[in-house]
A = this chain, B = another copy of it.
Amino acid sequence: MSLRMALLGLLTSSGPASGYDLTKLFESSINHAWQAKHSQIYPELNKMAADGLVTVEEEGPRGRKTYTITGEGARELREWLIGKTPSRLVRSEGALRAFLLPTLEPHEAVALLRTEAEVYGARLAKLEALRERKTAHHGAQDPADVSARFGKYALDLGIRQARVMSEWAEETAAEIESSIRS
């Protein structure tokens, strides 16, 4: 269901779009929370059309099909968001590595954590720059800028999460290091 809901969300926020467009939108936004390639998105859109959640309103060059969300599609999305008790399961290789950390020699764990801290720190800086650019634009209403309307809260969450990862890695490295010396 998650993929389906993600696509309905993108169609709601960005308006009618092709599978190709949606694949790129996916990559540049929802990808932080969920992943899917075009090879999964195209068949899913066909199924969604068969289920009446989207319609093909327009066929363009190169067989391009432009999908539009239907009333039923919007209802499904809303129902999924509001009606369902949310699963808070997370699959994260980064968190898994946290569990596996104690299987390493302390000095190796420290090295690993320092690298991670750097990676997440870089990610944090990138996301913060992105937010800066967005809030700077604030006055210039660009209705075509999907990510501006779409990703505001998600971006904020992403920033907080990146910060947590980098702080955790840095502080844990320091803690292990000091316990080596003692």
Contact = CB atoms under 8 A, between A and B. Distances in A.
A151 B30 CA distance: 30
Interface residues on A, range: 35 or more
A157 B97 CA distance: 11
A122 B74 CA distance: 31
A160 interface: yes
A93 B160 contact: no
A127 interface: no
B153 A160 contact: no
Across the A-B interface, give the 8 residue pairs with the lowest CB-CB distance, nearest first. Answer: A33-B95, A9-B100, A98-B154, A99-B154, A12-B103, A33-B96, A91-B91, A90-B92
Q: Name A's interface SS.
A: helix
10 contacts: A13-B102, A29-B99, A30-B96, A30-B99, A33-B91, A34-B96, A35-B89, A82-B104, A87-B93, A90-B94
Nearest to A34: B96
Nearest to A149: B102
Given A92-B92, A96-B30, A100-B81, A157 B168 contact: yes
B149 A96 contact: no
Given A94-B90, A99-B33, A164-B160, A82 B112 contact: yes
A24 to B, nearest CB: 15
Given A77-B103, A82-B112, A151-B99, A90 B33 contact: yes
A158 to B, nearest CB: 8
Interface in A124-171: 149-154, 156-158, 160-161, 164-165, 167-168
